[in-house]
Amino acid sequence: MKVLKITLVLFILLSPLFVSKASKAQCAMCQATVESNLKGGGSTGKSLNAGIVYLLIAPYIAMVGIGFLWYKKYRKKDVVIDIKSEKINLN
């Protein structure tokens, strides 16, 4: 059952790699503006790419920060595990 779950998760995660088509990440007007600017010697395309990377990374940084604060707040300190020394009958 565990192998089936792992196979299913891998299939779901990897299937978009084989099914997806090439797509453009910019609208036609943005792409035309950037291409004409790059042909003229401008650096708008590099700035646009840096902005896209910035927008992509910001949510991940926020989630790491929230996860760290959640871990620090809710972790248990000085936990004592009291296990009975008698045998347990499972029948």
This prediction has a pTM of 0.43
Of residues 58 and 52, more confidence is placed in 58
Q: Where are the domains of the chain?
A: 43-75
Q: What average pLDDT does the segment 64-87 reach?
A: 81
Report the alpha-carbon distance of residue 75 to residue 24 in Å, rounded.
Answer: 44
Is pLDDT larger for residue 7 or for residue 24? 7
- Tell me if residue 23 falls in helix, strand or coil: coil
Query: What is the mean predicted confidence (pLDDT) over 76-90?
Result: 73
User: What is the predicted pLDDT for the residue at 50?
Assistant: 78
Residue 10 tokens read as 């891998």
Grouping H, G, I as helix, E, B as strand and the rest as coil, residue 3 is helix
Residue (of 47, 10, 8) closest to 30 by Cα position = 47
